[in-house]
Amino acid sequence: MTLESINPANGRPIKIYSSHSDAEVKEAIYKAVNAFETWRHSELDHRATCMRKAADILKKNKQQYGLLISREMGKPIKQAIAEIEKSAQACAHYADNAQEYLTCESVQTSNSESFVAFEPLGVILAVMPWNFPFWQVIRFAAPALMAGNAGLLKHASNVSGCALAIEAVFIAAGFPAGLFKTLLVDSKRVEAIVKNPAISAVTLTGSGPAGSAVASAAGMSLKKSVLELGGNDAYLVLKDADLPLAARLCVQSRMNNAGQSCIAAKRLIVEATVMKEFESLVAKELADYVAADPEQEDTMLGPLARPDLRTELQRQVDDSIAMGATCLLGGKIPEGDGTYYPATLLTDVTSDMPAFREELFGPVACIISASDEATAIKLANDSLFGLGAAVFSRDIEKAKRIATHQLEAGTCVVNDFVRSDQLLPFGGIKQSGYGRELSHFGIREFVNVKTVYVGPAKQ
């Protein structure tokens, strides 16, 4: 069995990788367990030294790693380098803050002493996607390793080069041999790995079906899981919004990484009185995004990562148009090499269409008309997903109230677009998954929250 990386910009093979055998996977798990038994007792200062070195390696080699990302999954080079920089920042953040996040918390009880400790769980399996091939891994690995755990990575098969590069970063940074290991296996073998008794927990970022399968396997083995799944993020544009600002930020969110982001602006829900003006502004913004070679510095829109993804996106666009949506821009697969797709704008979208109901993983913006604010909120929440959402309004207090109390999502923002930040918890509700990554919430997902108290009780 082999795994192949193909450059989506031209369809040419980059490299073929041999899969790890069952024996090699078992050996990797065995080594991870042994490394964990030593690492869990290491001083936090030592862990932090290694993690800071990892951050330094990422920063020093950001051009090289960025180019690897661009070639394996098509991300424009500036965005790819920014992903490496963000990954380095996360490593540095957990190196600097793990001590605080993991410090025992004293609790006043009737006992002579009571406190809560945060102890590592063991070997954590991470099943990660291709769309942010470094960032998705680092935001799991940095907190997990700083907490004293070991990590095994099953990455998407089309970014095997990135997966091996990340492993090499941790080795070069001085982490113990075997503590973090990439497993080159296909998705059919994940269930057996999850069920291995030596695996303590699993985290997955990916599709709903993949999350359901991994969660089921973890549940059957009574193991903790964290899932970050798809999104169909609603961006509400109210009639009192700064429309040029809203259009610019909605398009920036929608087009980042060629629209291949779980937290991209997917459904632009606009009050009817300003819809035509907003449509015009969005169309003007989208016109600046011309699909081009992702390795060129000025490219804003690269190819989709795989041919099957483009085929599915075209099906969703065609079906929505057949049901009454209007295509104002793009909407057709271009001729030529590579899996490019043009910046596309659909309007007159209604709640029965794929453009509303499904996650469109590509550079397609969809505008939905709402008669008023209450209807806009209802449409936003009319989704199986609940990852991110945004509201644009000049009335900040009203917008904050809507974001805080009325939108159903794990992250809600006002007059900006949704992004993950190492300082804040990230994750979803509904079919967008459960659990949280980043901040102190993320590092505490894969620890034993242990209660300790000393008797006898106070007299």
pLDDT digits (tens, 9 = 90+) for 189-203: 999 999 999 999 999
Strands 234-237 and 267-271: parallel
> Using one digit for the tens of pLDDT, what is the confidence trace for 381-407?
999 999 999 999 999 999 999 999 999
> Using one digit for the tens of pLDDT, what is the confidence trace for 10-41?
999 999 999 999 999 999 999 999 999 999 99
- Asked if residue 52 lies in contact with residue 92, where contact means CB atoms within 8 angstroms, the answer is yes
Active site residue 27: no
Average of per-residue pLDDT values in the chain: 97
Give the integer Cα–Cα distance in Å for 423 and 22: 39
Q: Give me 229's structure tokens.
A: 């799944």
- pLDDT value at position 156? 98
What's the pLDDT band for 325 if we cut at 50, 70, 90? very high
Give the integer Cα–Cα distance in Å for 188 and 198: 19
Strands 111-120 and 447-457: antiparallel
> Using one digit for the tens of pLDDT, what is the confidence trace for 133-172?
999 999 999 999 999 999 999 999 999 999 999 999 999 9
- Asked if residue 253 lies in contact with residue 354, where contact means CB atoms within 8 angstroms, the answer is no
What is the three-class DSSP state of 232? coil
Give the integer Cα–Cα distance in Å for 202 and 302: 32
> Using one digit for the tens of pLDDT, what is the confidence trace for 276-307?
999 999 999 999 999 999 999 999 999 999 99
Percent of the chain at pLDDT above 90?
Answer: 99
Active-site residue identified among 91, 162, 262, 412: 262
Active site residue 167: no
What's the pLDDT band for 459 if we cut at 50, 70, 90? low
- pLDDT value at position 386? 98
What's the pLDDT band for 1 if we cut at 50, 70, 90? confident
- pLDDT value at position 458? 67
- Whether 217 shows a pLDDT value over 90: the answer reads yes
> Using one digit for the tens of pLDDT, what is the confidence trace for 349-369?
999 999 999 999 999 999 999
What is the three-class DSSP state of 78? helix
Give the integer Cα–Cα distance in Å for 104 and 450: 9
> Using one digit for the tens of pLDDT, what is the confidence trace for 35-75?
999 999 999 999 999 999 999 999 999 999 999 999 999 99
Active-site residue identified among 72, 83, 167, 228: 228
Q: Is the pTM of this model over 0.85?
A: yes
What's the pLDDT band for 457 if we cut at 50, 70, 90? confident
- Asked if residue 211 lies in contact with residue 433, where contact means CB atoms within 8 angstroms, the answer is yes
- Whether 122 shows a pLDDT value over 90: the answer reads yes
CA distances (Å), 419 to each of 145, 245, 248, 412, 422, in order?
A: 24, 17, 15, 10, 10
Runs of H (alpha helix) within 103-189: 135-146, 160-172
